Structure 1
């Protein structure tokens, strides 16, 4: 009787494991299919894209689609603008977050926790709500069509402050006291000690800021009118508009430009994913 029960239990576990694997494979296929379709569409010819019955593998690999994207729009210029915006945002946002998180985690001042909750409240405010006053401010400062307008409004991030605060709070205060005894000032403690000890979280925030800046469309669209200041997301939309009425015919070129746009994100995330997992594991509210 007991042997039959054990055999039935083992069989049930094996069945459940099989069902889980099948479910995981199905979910993976559903999630990956848009990316797969993007890749194969970028390599199809115009004639193949216009076929009534779509093909799931290119009949001929049209590598010239990538060169065509550079011909239709100033792709290199848009790429460099996006890179400068992303790097500038990372530098500014990380430095602001480091100093704010240090104050909230290790500082002792009246209303500290209440102010931190106020910072967290900014997480629920969407970007579209505040863009009008910020746009007016950028206009009065004569910063429109400049990198200042693309970078400065994103100089502070409530999420970055939260993650870094959690990382700093996990560091023992005795370490900071020992540094003060050795004569280290606040900035020395922050950039020479805490910076290194919270490196996984800092790297993670750098990756997340990079991805957010690289994918940003709404903000660069309203802050720039000069084509020399456009970024990739807006540039790809311009590519679509430049062939208005022929989207179906030139959809392969649009897809090719999109593939080139996502390559930096994929590379950065792949290289830094272990730091992201480590930082998220330490981000519980304390």
Structure 2
């Protein structure tokens, strides 16, 4: 096989994989812009006959959209803030600290990666209920304040940083907090951005936890709101499917924007995340 044929084959396969992955997103977008009549056609169209931008306004009006969006934003910002700061401090201790049982404790942190929320939500729900936090932002944010994967990523990055940098900062009178936030944080910036993106996607897309921990429209988030919209049109999906897709497009749009701007940092962080 010649070099030109090999390059052409690689690009062809890459384009085919990209199309396969992107097609569901494309179909969701064009469905959000179609009329109910066009959705019921026997032969589906691959581009709307008329772009119905008003479908997005109708989707906003179908649920308390802005209330749900503000709840989602507060939940997401709170989780990101806690996960990054707790992750930085824990990773600093595991990477540069010297205390008995450090490696064994880190293995326990890694073990938390294999435990899904569905296993722990009952005892956590009971705890939240006894604290009186059900239907509050505390219940949405506090149980996710620490990320085991985030601690792992940051620990791997900190271990790759030479200890001489830290010792020089301590000689200049820097405290541990100053070393962490003024020296290590800038050096681990790609990893911090990666953790921010991962935390953002997980928090913004969270459905199960907000559904369990809230029971009032005043505290619902967007993912739960879309499920409520779906339930409210049960039996009439063919007439309102465009509204579901319009709401879904709005929900995933921030994720796409964040990922596009942060992808180079994600690649740099993943290249440095091998187990050491």
TM-score range (shorter-chain normalised) is over 0.9
CA distance, structure 1, for counterparts of residue 124 and residue 82 of structure 2: 17
Mapping of residues 127-138 of structure 1, within 5 Å: 127-138=117-128
Q: CA RMSD in A?
A: 1.0
Q: TM-score, normalised by structure 2?
A: 0.97
Unaligned runs of 5+ in 2: none
**Residues paired across the two proteins, number:** 276
Shift of 1:56: 0.8
CA distance, structure 1, for counterparts of residue 83 and residue 139 of structure 2: 14
Mapping of residues 109-258 of structure 1, within 5 Å: 109-258=99-248
Runs of 4 or more consecutive aligned structure 1 residues displaced over 4 Å after TM superposition: none
Shift of 1:91: 0.5
Unaligned runs of 5+ in 1: 1-10
Residue matched to 1:69: 59
> SS in structure 2 opposite 1:207?
helix
CA distance, structure 2, for counterparts of residue 103 and residue 44 of structure 1: 54
Structure whose CA Rg is larger = 1
Shift of 1:17: 3.0
Residue matched to 1:56: 46
CA distance, structure 2, for counterparts of residue 111 and residue 193 of structure 1: 26
Shift of 1:12: 3.7
Shift of 1:14: 3.3
Q: TM-score, normalised by structure 1?
A: 0.94
Shift of 1:238: 0.7
